Chains A and B, each alone.
Chain A
Amino acid sequence: MTANPGLPGDREPGTGRRLFHLKTLFEAATELSAPADAGTTLRRFLPVAMGPLGLTFGLGIVLGPDRLDVESLGLMPADRERCQGAGAELADRFFPEEPQAAAPPRPTVLTGPHLASDPHLPAGTSAVVAMRLDQDSRAVLVLGPRLTGESYGQDEAELLQGLADILSTALKRACADERVHTLNASLSENNDRLRQALEHMEQARDELDRQAFRLRTLFETSLELSSLNDPRAILDAFLLTLMGTFGFSRGWISLHGPQAGQADTAYRGPDPGEMAAVASPDGREKILARFVELKDRMPRANQAELLDDADAVAALPARADLAVLFSLDQDWHGAIGLADPLPDQGMDPQGVQFLRSLLGIFIVTLGNAWHGRQVSQLNTALSARNEELQATLDALTSAREEVTVQTEARERIVGLVRGEVARAWRASWFDACMMILAGVVLGALFNSASPGGIELVPKSLFAPPPALIAADEARRMAEAGEAVIIDARPADFHRQEAIPGSVNLPKELFDFVYSMKLATLDPETPLLVYGRTISRHYDADVARELKLLGHGNVLVIDGGLKAWERAGYEVIR
């Protein structure tokens, strides 16, 4: 800070002073070249500036949006306190509002005697330098009176301006450094935050992966279980899902009905005895006992409850590290046991929630399948009953048809009976014909069997017609005594009316009368027979008998007694 003894002393005073000022400026620049904050820069600057200028005190104020640095040298303590308290206000007096976008101007140096008496400035202030550091920060340098008491000359003013420029530059750099530092700190902080955010993101992604895995597992489980209809297959599939999802190497599921022996079980593990124990009535009793122990937490219909009591888990019929009780409805209860977990397979709360979700799907699916089986069984029973009903209906239909047939038959029989009964009361052609027919049949039978039976049809009907003789020729022969007239009618008719001289020879007395009256007659004597009615051909019959006795000339009078009478011949009565 002193004059360089190496320099020639015979230089002009102005040149030496200028050199001194340059050295001062160089020293100030050198002193302020090291990076430092604004306060340190001020502290370094004040001695460098006050010495060459011969100032009694110096005061520097740096004002920013969130900072206020006040540094002083040689200032009385009271003034120092006052200036520190009013630093911001003091600085604002020298910086009217300016457009923010404007570039920071060079430092403004104010000198003059009026500053010494400014009440807002320390007493004796000889110069004030105002500097805008950036858009938000500014600085004020207050310089005290010179020891010499002189005002600033041209050289001093230039020196002061140069020092102000150096200080302004240093402060700007300090502010920039601080800002850079602040930015670095902020960046570091942001980096830390980003790192934390990345970690959180990684965790969230892992969690999302787990959630996605669980959701996919839920979906696949729901899909797989819903495709199954057999409750036992659902138990097996769900057990495999649980063991695979939660990392267990052994597991079992048992579902028991209201009656002992109604059990569906699934088991995966090395010990077949555990499966038998789970399905046994004793296993059922043990599982139902766990339900009772849960009391208020007992799972109701279509609910599941995680068994968190180690003693209760140990009391189950098979080994389990994780156990669940569930109810299908009021009567069907079941339990799930998982054992031998794989390493690093803990069960966090979200895993428990996931297990509950799986259980929900399992119970719903199992309930549907179980009800489906119930419906199927009911359908089977209904089909059987339908077949029975159909058989009954067929039997009823057949019976009805049979009843109808029987009714019709009964009506017909009743009608016949009534007809017969009614016919019995009245006269009917049928009955009359039947009586006559009975008489015909009985008569024919009796007549054929009786020794006194007669010919139903007379032989004369089929006999050759007899030889005939006319009534007049017969009368002539009779009157000439050439022939004998024979009356073949019964005696009563002969007695009533007859041809005179005729011999009565009825067929029923043929042998007797013939032997009495005609036995001695010449067989060649013509015999003239008459006597015929609608009912009897007496003449033909007697003529046939006479021929049998050897009479060769037997003639029948044509027309009989009526022809005789029509001819007007005599008859006797």
Chain B
Amino acid sequence: MIELLRRILTHPWLALAFRLYIGGLFVYAAMYKINYAAEFSETIASYRLVPYWAVNALAVFMPWTEIVCGALLILGVRVRSAAAVIAALLAVFTVAIFVNLLWDAPISCGCFKTIEDPISWWTVLRDLAWIAMTLHVFRYDSVLQADRLFLGKLGRIES
């Protein structure tokens, strides 16, 4: 049973599902932020962790980084690097939420839209779950990758 569970949990197709989910999630989340950069900058500022001179720049650049990494995850290009970046972003988000929870800050997550429910521990657990999925993708994803499709033959070139 445990072996079956382990095989299921480590199966590449599960990793593919996580990859598509996380990729789509980040693309979806970034779409709104891209169009409403000013609101997103306020969201970032509400966390009170970023220096005021870097808030706007972060609000402009981070959604595009998310959408690039999400798209690469969906396409299966540089999966591990993209997963690592996304995991790092999620870790930062989680830490930020965790810190603001400790501060009891009356802010919303701002993960998808500006007006959302305030952050809570459930938000932390959700982000941790997304981190776990991303790590699973990093470790076990191996199917339907564009890299393997196009670079797999190159890897078999004999020296």
Contacts and interface: CB of A to CB of B under 8 A. Distances in A.
B53 A461 contact: yes
B85 A432 contact: yes
A1 interface: no
Contact of A495 (B37, B78, B85, B106): B106
Contacts of B82: 431, 435
Contact of B57 (A414, A418, A456, A460): A456
A101 interface: no
B81 A508 contact: no
Contact of A417 (B53, B55, B59, B154): B154
Interface stretch (A13-21, A37-45, A177-185, A419-427): A419-427
A456 B155 contact: no
B61 A443 contact: yes
A454 B81 contact: no
A436 B52 contact: no
A455 interface: yes
B75 interface: no
A508 B51 CA distance: 20
- Taking residues whose C-beta sits less than 8 angstroms from the other chain, chain B's interface range is 35 or more
Interface in A491-508: 492-493, 495-496, 508
Interface stretch (A247-255, A306-314, A532-540): A532-540
B87 to A, nearest CB: 10
Interface stretch (A218-226, A444-452, A551-559): A444-452
Interface stretch (B11-19, B64-72, B121-129): B64-72
Interface string A185-225: 00000000000000000000000000000000000000000
A458 interface: yes
A460 B61 contact: no
Contacts of A438: 64-65, 68
Contacts of A113: none
Contacts of B46: 490, 535
A536 B63 CA distance: 20
Interface string B33-66: 0111110011011111111110111011111111
Given A440-B65, A455-B56, A457-B56, A420 B151 contact: yes
B147 A424 contact: yes
Given A432-B84, A493-B106, A535 B151 contact: no
A443 B64 contact: yes
B65 A496 contact: no
A458 B51 CA distance: 11
B105 to A, nearest CB: 8
A438 B72 CA distance: 12
B159 to A, nearest CB: 5
B61 A440 contact: yes
Nearest to A437: B65
Interface of B: 34-38, 41-42, 44-53, 55-57, 59-69, 72, 77-78, 80-85, 104, 106-107, 138, 147, 151-152, 154-155, 157, 159
Given A417-B154, A436-B61, A443-B64, 5 more contacts: A421-B152, A431-B78, A438-B68, A446-B60, A508-B42
